């Protein structure tokens, strides 16, 4: 479901300028995607096989090269809450990552290179300030995996006319967006009991024929 929310996010003018500088740097054959910078795919993955216990620990782990290691908590510049559990390249999503890649390639009529995937359990106090992503996130898909929140939590994004949208996704739904071009965010986590969580995955790719193709197989640096 795509809704325009009542709450208008305050976005710094410098961020608008940066987004404008990057406009039309990730062109595809998908008319709506090139105009708005995003589109939603319902049921892009089956989440039933991905169910697991909600972690009690808070931190960030990297599974790249098959070795699990805890890394610095600064998992994303725009994340200002430390109340989260994040994983980079956990094998749990390896198959889904490739399936989603194939689906996006079909939708946008362009071939992609892999960069990385990421998932995060958000807890009370979480939010993401408005931002644009680094080059490895040129073609991104944000997928809602599961939550026990009674109030839905929005994914906010600006379209090509700088109009704000709030997207509310069901588990398994994904929003494909141009991470480097379009300003996106999460508003404050809804008021909820302590045990509340929201689990989300981010699958990132670059266009094979695009300006950011050399970020293929991103090593996280």
What are the residues binding Fe ion (CB under 5 A)?
A: 133
Backbone angles phi, psi at 136, to 5 degrees: -65, -10
Closest separation in Å from C-beta 78 to Fe ion: 6
8 A C-beta contact, residue 121 and residue 197: yes
Q: Can you tell me the distance from the alpha carbon of 74 to that of 52, in angstroms, rounded to the nearest whole number?
A: 24
128 secondary structure, DSSP code = E
Closest separation in Å from C-beta 134 to Fe ion: 9
Give the DSSP H or E segment for 120: strand 112-122
Closest separation in Å from C-beta 133 to Fe ion: 4
Pick the closer one to Fe ion by CB: 133 or 173. Answer: 133
Pick the closer one to Fe ion by CB: 132 or 207. Answer: 132
Residue 79 tokens read as: 């994340």
Query: Which residue of this chain has its Cβ atom nearest to Fe ion in the complex?
Result: 133
Q: Can you tell me the distance from the alpha carbon of 167 to that of 195, in angstroms, rounded to the nearest whole number?
A: 24
Pick the closer one to Fe ion by CB: 53 or 97. Answer: 97
Closest separation in Å from C-beta 67 to Fe ion: 26
Pick the closer one to Fe ion by CB: 49 or 128. Answer: 128
């Amino acid at each position: 479901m795509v809704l325009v929310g009542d709450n208008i996010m305050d976005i710094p003018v410098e961020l608008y300028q940066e987004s404008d500088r990057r406009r039309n740097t990730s062109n595809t054959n998908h008319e709506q995607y090139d105009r708005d910078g995003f589109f939603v795919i319902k049921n892009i993955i089956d989440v039933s096989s991905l169910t697991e216990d909600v972690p009690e620990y808070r931190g960030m782990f990297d599974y790249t090269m098959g070795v699990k290691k805890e890394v610095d908590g600064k998992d994303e510049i725009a994340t200002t809450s430390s109340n989260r559990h994040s994983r980079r390249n956990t094998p749990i999503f390896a198959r889904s990552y490739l399936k989603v890649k194939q689906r996006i390639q079909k939708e946008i009529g362009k071939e992609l290179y892999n960069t990385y995937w990421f998932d995060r359990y958000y807890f009370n106090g979480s939010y993401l300030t408005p931002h644009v992503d680094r080059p490895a996130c040129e073609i991104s898909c944000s997928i809602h995996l599961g939550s026990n929140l009674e109030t839905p939590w929005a994914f906010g994004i600006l379209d090509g006319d700088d109009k704000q949208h709030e997207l509310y996704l069901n588990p398994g739904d994904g929003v494909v967006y141009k991470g480097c071009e379009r300003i996106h965010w999460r508003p404050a986590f809804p008021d909820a009991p302590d045990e509340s969580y929201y689990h989300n995955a981010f699958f990132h790719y670059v266009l094979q024929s695009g300006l950011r193709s050399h970020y293929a197989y991103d090593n996280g640096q």
